[in-house]
Amino acid sequence: MIRISAVYPNVENSRFDGDYYLNRHAPFAEKLLTPHGLSGLSLTLGVAGLDGAPPPFWAISELIFPTRAAFDAAIAACGEALFADTKAYTDITPVLQISRTANEPAS
């Protein structure tokens, strides 16, 4: 299994609509990607830094796919629609990372 993390940095003058992200974009993404191998989706919204300052990240999402090839195929099929919807909730380009859980065997 792999995890694709999308991290949305809280940069100065950026816009992020958490309600839209949670209630519209995430269900839309799940509906599109599940037939292409998505097996899990985890979402977090930043609240604050430990020092009480604004959160360093607006949000972090993790998408779980069986393989990199499955993720690539899903994005080839659905990426255009997903990325177009991003404009509805943010003006930030997320930082993407492929990971595996440290206690899982490498695939």
Per-block mean pLDDT, blocks of 10 residues, the chain (107 long): 96 96 97 96 96 96 96 96 95 94 66
Question: What is the extent of the structural domain holding 79?
Answer: 2-99
Take residue 10 and report the two structure tokens written for it. Answer: 């809280």
CATH code, 61: 3.30.70.100
**What value, to the nearest 5°, has the Cα angle with vertex 37 and ends 34 and 38?**
55
The answer as to whether 63 is a domain residue is yes
Q: Tell me if the pTM is above 0.85.
A: yes
The answer as to whether 104 is a domain residue is no
pLDDT digits (tens, 9 = 90+) for 74-105: 999 999 999 999 999 999 999 999 998 777 66
The total number of structural domains in the chain stands at 1
Number of H helices and number of E strands within the chain? Answer: 3, 4
